[in-house]
Structure 1
Amino acid sequence: MDLNVAQSLNIKKDITSFLSDYKQKLSELFNERNDEDEMLATRGLPPYVLREVLEHNPLSTFIPDEYNGRGAITSEALSMLETTSYQSLPLSLMMGINGALFLQPVANYGEEEAKKNVFQRFLKKKNMGGLMITEPDFGSDALRMQTGYRYNEESDSYKIEGLKHWAGLTGWADFWLITARETDKNGELGRDIGFFIHDSSNGGIEVLEYYKNLGLYMLPYGKNQINIDVPASYKLNPSRNGILMMLDILHRSRLQFPGMSTGHLKRMMDEALAHCKERLVGGQSLFNYDQVKERLAQLQSYFTVSSAMSFFTGTNVPLTKNTARMDVAANSIKSVVTDYMHEASQSLMQLVGAKGYRLDHIAGRAMVDSRPFQIFEGSNDILYQQISESVLKMMRKSKESNLYQFMKGYSLTENAAGYFKDTLNFEVDYKLPQRKLVQLGRALGRLVSMEMTLKLGDTGFNSKMISNSLKVLRSEINSIVSTYKSNEQPDVLDGYGDDSSWLKFVKA
C-alpha cells in the first residue's frame, strides 16, 4: 500500500482529525441511523455497522508505520479505544481484542512474512483477529493448558490440537493467535508456551457451541475444537521463552485497559450529571441532594483516575517496551479501573432508578457489560493477590518490613505514600493468608493509582478534578487498610445445615 492509498483510507490524517471523523461516524451509526438501545440489547452487530466502523480503520492505530499503519503509537491506540467506548463498551472491547491481543503481539514477535500478510489484510480487507488461551478445565491456570503442538519437518509446519473457549469473536475472527504446549514423542506436554497465527480461511476450527453470554451481546463467545496446521513462519518468536512472551502480551493488554475504561467512565459521568440536573424529586433537582453529590463526585474521581492511567501508559509503554516485568503497574491498572467501571455503572443505575433496570437502557447495559472486565484477563481477586506478592517479594529482597518505609521509596508510590505516613506505618508479615494478600493488594493498587493521578496533576490537568480524586482515593485506601488490619476472620461452615433454620425456633 503506497502513501496515496493510505491517505485515501484516512490513515495518515493527524490524530485529532482521525478521531474526530471516527467519533462522527460512531455517533451517526449508533444514534442517528439506528436505535442505540435496541441495537446494543440485541445479540451480534448488524454487518453493515461493523463494516462502516472498520472502513474508518480504527485498528490502524495498532499497526506500525512501516506496514502503512498509523505507527502503533500507544497514546493514539488508547485514544481510539476511549472514543469507541464512550459510544459502545462492547465495540471498544472488540477493538481492544484485535489490537492488544492480536496485532501488537504480531508486531512484536511475528516473522516478516506473517506481519506483511496480516497487516495488509487488516488495512485493505478489514480483517479481524482474536486470541485463544483459555480452556474449559484451565481458566486462570493457563500454564497447564492441554492444547498441544508438534513440528512436522516435511511440511515445515506445526500441527495443533486442543479445545479452547471464551475467545471473543468466536466464529468471526479472520485470524487467531492460538496458544499451545509442545508435545514430545511420548505425548507429554512441555512447560513452555507457543503462540501461533492461524488463518481462519484454512479451516480446522470447529465452533462446538456458542455461549449465551450475560452481557457484551455484541461479541460472540463459545467453545472451539482446534485441529489445525500452521506454517512455521506463522509461529511467534519470543526473545527468551514463551512464558515471558505471554506475560508481556497480557501485561501490555492490562496496561491499555484505561483506553476502554476512560471513555466508558466519561459516558457514565455524563449520563449521571445530565439525569440528575433534569430530574426533579421533592420539588428540587436531584443534583442538589447531598448523597447524590457524593455519587457524582465518585464518578468524576473514577474518570480522573482512569485518565491518569491512560496518561501513564501513553507516556511510559511504547510498543517496543517489554512489559513482562511490569506486573505491579499492569495488575494495579487492570484491577482498580475495572472495579471502578462496574461501580460507576452501579451508581448510574442507582441514580436513574427503575428505568435503568432495563437491558435497553444505558445503565442496565453498562452494568452487565462492565462486570466481565473484573474477571477476564485475570480475575481481580487473583491480581490483587499478585500485587501483594510482588511487593512483599521486593520488600524481602530489600530487607524492609515496614510498609510505609518501602512504599515511599518505591517508584510507583513514592509521592502517594506521603499521604499515609500513619496508615501505612506498620510491619508486614511476609507470610500472609490469601484473604489478607487480596485486601492488601486492593490498597496497594489504589496507592499506585494515586501516584499516577498525582503525576497527571503535574501536567496541568483540571486541578479540581485531581483534588477531588485524591480525596476519594485517600478514603478508599484508609478504609481498605483498616479492614486489612482487623483480626476478624470469619470461617466457612461445611455442615451449616444444623440449627440454621430460623422457623424451628419460633415458639407457637
Structure 2
Amino acid sequence: MNETFEVFINRFKERLVELFHTKSDINALSLQRGLPEEVWKGIMDVNPLAVAVPTAYAGRGAQVKECLGLLAAASYESLPLSLTFGINIALFLEPLAKYGHEDIKADIFKQFMTKGAMGGLMITEPDYGSDALNMRTQFMADADSYTLKGQKHWQGLTGMADYWIVAARKKMDNGELARDIDFFVTDNSKSDQHIKVEHYFNNLGLYMIPYGLNTIDLTVPTNQKLQQTSTGIKMMLDILHRSRLQFPGMGMGFIQRMLDEALQHCENRKVGGQKLAVMDSVQFQLSRIQSSFALCSGMCAHSTTMSSIEHDVSGQGIAANSMKALVTDLMQESAQICVQLSGSSGYKIEHVAGRGIVDSRPFQIFEGSNEMLYSQIAEGVVKQMKKTKELHFGRYLTGYDLTARVAPRFKELLDFSLNDTLAQRQLVVLGKAIARLVCLQFVDELAEKGFRQDLYLNAFKHVNMDLKELLTNLLAYNDSNSVLEYKENSDWLSFA
C-alpha cells in the first residue's frame, strides 16, 4: 500500500488487459452469468478495493480521487466490473468506515484486504422500491442483539457478497413500524446472520452481477448496528448522496471507451472513398460524446472536493442528483451514438457499444430513477427560490453557488419567471436544465485549472443546445394524457 496511485492503477489496468484480452475474451465473458473463479481471483489479487479501506486498517485511505480513478479504469474495460466495485465502495466500505462500530471494523476490513471479500447494501423491497421510507423490513431489540425480518430484492451481488448492510425499521410495542430507519451489518458466513436467496433474476444486462430476491430472518449482535450521529434517514441520505456523487467514476471510463471506439471506427471506415470521420453529421455525433466526456470529467473533479467520508453530504441533494441523473443519461446516449456510428457491427451483444446500451440502461433507474431525481432537483431549487422571494429563474441561478459561474452566459435563455405551480412533467424538464448548468459549472472550474478549452467549448455548445430545447418544452409543455380505455374506435382496419 506504499506505492503511488499511478503505479497502483497502472498495475490494475495491466491486469485487466491480461485477464480480459490475453488469457480470455471479455466479449465472451460478458455473455455468461458471473465470471469464472480464476478471473475473479486474478482481479482481486491486485487488491483493487484497498482504495476504499482506511489506512488504519492497511488500506490506501479511502481517498475519493483514488476510488473514482479505480471505477473509471474498470469501466473502460467492463461496466459491470466497475459497478461491482462501486457497490462495494460506496454502499458498503465507506458506510462501514464512517458509521461502523470500532469493534467490528478491523476483522471486516482484514477480510477485504486479504481474502477478497465483498459487501453490498440492502434497501429496496418488492413493494417499496424508491419508497424506501415505507419499507417493511423490521427489527426488534433484545438485550445484546437485534432480530431482523423482511424481504429485499434487486441488490447487486445477491448471493455473492460476504457482508451486507441491511436497512430496517424498528417494530414498536403497538406493532407499528417506526418512521426512522436503522442499518445493520450482517456476516453471511455465520449461520444466524445468513441471508437466504429465494431466487435469482434474469437481469437483462450486467450479466457479471447477480440480482435476486432475498429473505431476511437473522440475528446480529448490538455492535453490528451502524452508529448514526442524528437520524437514520439523514444517514441514509448521506450514504446515497455519496454514492450518487461517485457515479461519474463509473461513467468516466465507460464514456471514454465509447468515444475511443467511435473515433477509431470513424477514422478507419470509408464511405464513398472518404473517411466516415470527415462527414459533418458524424462530426456532430462525435462531438456529442466528447461533450459527455468533458461534463463527466468536471463531475469527477468536483466530486473529489466534497464526497469523502469526512463530509456530511446528506444535504447535497441537488449536486448529487444532478451528477447521478445526468451522467447516466450521458452514458446511455454515448453508447447509442457509438452503436449508430458503428453500423451493423455495433448491433451485436459482443460489441462493446451494443453491450453498453444494455449495461448502461439500468444506471438510469437504480438508486433513484432519473425522472424522480430531476423532479427533486427542480423542487429543491424552486423551494429555495420561494424562500428568497426571487422567482426570476435567471437572476436566481446567477446568485446560486452551483450555477453562478455559468448562468450569466445563458442570460437570454434564462430570462423568465416561474409560476407558482408546475406540472410534474415540467419539474422533470426543469431539473434536466438545472443539472446541465450545475455540471457545466464543474467543467468550467476544471477548465480554469488547465482542462482543454476546446473540450470545454464543446460541452458549452451542447449544453446551450440542450437548454434551448428543454426550456422550450418547459414554457410550452405538451399536456397530453394517456387514454386508458383506448380500444373503442381505434382499429384502423375498420376504417380502411
Fold-level match, TM-score > 0.5? Answer: yes
Equivalent of residue 30 in structure 1, options 20, 25, 34: 20
Equivalent of residue 201 in structure 1, options 189, 209, 216: 189
Match of 1:226 in 2: 216
1:318-329 map, 5 Å: 318-329=308-319
- Are residues 1:263 and 2:256 paired? no
- Are residues 1:287 and 2:281 paired? no
| C-alpha distance in 1 between matches for 2:457 and 2:345 | 33
| C-alpha distance in 1 between matches for 2:133 and 2:73 | 35
| C-alpha distance in 2 between matches for 1:491 and 1:126 | 51
Give the length in aligned residue pairs. Answer: 494
Match of 1:492 in 2: 482
The SS at the match of 1:201 is: coil
Match of 2:145 in 1: 157
1:263-342 map, 5 Å: 263-342=253-332
Gaps of 5+ in 2: none
1:32-181 map, 5 Å: 32-153=22-143, 156-181=144-169
Identity across the alignment (%): 46
| C-alpha distance in 2 between matches for 1:127 and 1:430 | 52
> Larger deviation: 484-493 or 57-66?
484-493
How far 1:187 sits from its partner (Å)?
2.1
Equivalent of residue 358 in structure 1, options 326, 348, 365: 348
| C-alpha distance in 1 between matches for 2:484 and 2:355 | 37
| C-alpha distance in 1 between matches for 2:307 and 2:212 | 32
- Are residues 1:473 and 2:463 paired? yes
Instruction: Kindly provide the CA deviation profile for residues 282-339 of structure 1, in whole angstroms up to 9, marking residues without a partner as x.
Output: 2211111111111100011101110100000012322200000000000000000000
Match of 1:5 in 2: none
The SS at the match of 2:214 is: strand
| C-alpha distance in 2 between matches for 1:478 and 1:245 | 38
| C-alpha distance in 2 between matches for 1:336 and 1:487 | 21
Instruction: Kindly provide the CA deviation profile for residues 3-27 of structure 1, in whole angstroms up to 9, marking residues without a partner as x.
Output: xxxxxxxx22100000010110011
The SS at the match of 1:316 is: coil
| C-alpha distance in 1 between matches for 2:367 and 2:420 | 27
- Are residues 1:213 and 2:203 paired? yes
**RMSD (Å), alpha carbons:** 0.9
The SS at the match of 1:208 is: strand
Instruction: Kindly provide the CA deviation profile for residues 215-235 of structure 1, in whole angstroms up to 9, marking residues without a partner as x.
Output: 000000000011111111010
Match of 1:400 in 2: 390
AA aligned to 2:162 is: D
How far 1:504 sits from its partner (Å)?
1.4
Match of 1:439 in 2: 429
Equivalent of residue 184 in structure 1, options 146, 152, 172: 172
- Are residues 1:246 and 2:208 paired? no
| C-alpha distance in 1 between matches for 2:37 and 2:222 | 33
Instruction: Kindly provide the CA deviation profile for residues 33-73 of structure 1, in whole angstroms up to 9, marking residues without a partner as x.
Output: 11111111211111111111111111111111111110111
| C-alpha distance in 1 between matches for 2:155 and 2:307 | 26
How far 1:117 sits from its partner (Å)?
1.5
> Larger deviation: 227-236 or 277-286?
277-286
Say whether the 8 Å CA contact 1:146–1:162 is kept in structure 2.
Answer: yes
AA aligned to 1:30 is: F
The SS at the match of 2:210 is: coil
Equivalent of residue 419 in structure 1, options 409, 412, 420: 409
Match of 2:438 in 1: 448
The SS at the match of 2:238 is: helix
| C-alpha distance in 2 between matches for 1:59 and 1:459 | 29
> Larger deviation: 409-418 or 426-435?
426-435
| C-alpha distance in 2 between matches for 1:493 and 1:384 | 26
Say whether the 8 Å CA contact 1:254–1:330 is kept in structure 2.
Answer: yes
How far 1:487 sits from its partner (Å)?
4.1
Under a length normalisation based on structure 2, what TM-score does the superposition of the two structures give? 0.98
The SS at the match of 1:317 is: coil
The SS at the match of 1:408 is: helix
| C-alpha distance in 1 between matches for 2:145 and 2:477 | 57
AA aligned to 2:305 is: T
Say whether the 8 Å CA contact 1:395–1:401 is kept in structure 2.
Answer: yes
Say whether the 8 Å CA contact 2:53–2:93 is kept in structure 1.
Answer: yes
| C-alpha distance in 1 between matches for 2:276 and 2:492 | 41
How far 1:431 sits from its partner (Å)?
2.1
Say whether the 8 Å CA contact 1:401–1:427 is kept in structure 2.
Answer: yes
> Larger deviation: 193-202 or 35-44?
35-44
Equivalent of residue 400 in structure 2, options 410, 422, 430: 410
AA aligned to 2:189 is: S
